[in-house]
Chain A
Amino acid sequence: MVAKKKKRKVVAKVLPTEPTKSFYIGVQNPDNMRRNILESSKDIIGILKQYQRIKQIREDKREAIDELNSAVKSIKSGLGKFKRILPIVQLRERPIEVRFEGVETEGMITEEPPKERSVPKKVLSEIEKLEAELRNVEGKLANI
């Protein structure tokens, strides 16, 4: 015969309630602290206002930069038109003759400048295009 397990009723033990202990820390100068907290809140609101102003300034700056960019593009296109209107002339430099006393230059073998290697073309970025343009203009300036 199998003995049946007796079911026991589980009764939650109720612990005797203890009065909750509260600790207090004395604030010696509550007015000062309150003032500090309020002033900090005021400063935070001031900072949020400043943030809005800075945001507005940056927006204005962005617009001004866009305007400047557009003005510079107009100047560039104007100068391009100007260049097209002016007649195309081939400027030629006068050959500089260098003579050494007692040395005949005729019949001398001169070295040819080395041929430039062909570099594979790559897609140029905006800055690289501008740099190439700048080099081109500087080259022309040097020839004048």
Chain B
Amino acid sequence: MQKGMPVYVKVDEYKDVLDLMNMIKTKVNDAKSILNHLNELKNEEDAELEAWKLNIEDIDKKIDFIDTALFEPEQY
């Protein structure tokens, strides 16, 4: 068969093809929505990690202040 020639599908299989196409389309949409959800979760996780980092930095500053106040009291 040459390139570009049409391909014919049996009529009895045509319905199966349509059903299959619908199933594939549904699954692709599902995959797209799951990916969106994953992206949201990733952003949420990034935000939590960023807040975590800020909290740790805050604690570090406070501990540093306490440490300095206790071990180098002349400064205060």
Q: Which residues of A contact B (CB under 8 A)?
A: 25-29, 32-33, 36-37, 39-40, 43-44, 46-47, 50-51, 53-54, 57-58, 60-61, 64-65, 67-68, 71-72, 74-75, 78-79, 81-82, 85-87, 89-94, 144
21 A-B interface contacts by CB (under 8 A): A27-B69, A32-B65, A40-B59, A43-B58, A47-B56, A50-B48, A54-B45, A54-B49, A61-B45, A65-B38, A68-B34, A71-B31, A72-B31, A74-B23, A75-B27, A78-B20, A79-B24, A85-B9, A89-B1, A89-B7, A94-B3
Q: Are B38 and A44 in contact (CB under 8 A)?
A: no
| Also in contact, A92 and B73, with CB within 8 A (given A36-B65, A36-B66, A75-B24) | no
Contact for B76 among A28, A51, A58, A85, CB less than 8 A:
A28
Interface centre among A51, A75, A79, A90, by most B CB within 10 Å? A75
Distance of A135 Cα from B30 Cα, bound (Å): 27
Q: Are B69 and A71 in contact (CB under 8 A)?
A: no
| Also in contact, A50 and B1, with CB within 8 A (given A26-B73, A71-B34) | no
- Residues from chain B with a CB closer than 8 A to the CB of A40 are 59, 62-63, 66
Q: Are A50 and B31 in contact (CB under 8 A)?
A: no
Q: Are A57 and B41 in contact (CB under 8 A)?
A: yes
Across the A-B interface, the 5 shortest Cβ-Cβ residue pairs? A28-B76, A71-B31, A78-B24, A36-B62, A68-B34
Q: Are B49 and A87 in contact (CB under 8 A)?
A: no
Q: Are B59 and A44 in contact (CB under 8 A)?
A: yes
Q: Are B38 and A64 in contact (CB under 8 A)?
A: yes
Distance of A65 Cα from B37 Cα, bound (Å): 10
- Residues from chain A with a CB closer than 8 A to the CB of B31 are 68, 71-72, 75
Distance of A26 Cα from B52 Cα, bound (Å): 34
- Residues from chain B with a CB closer than 8 A to the CB of A74 are 23, 27
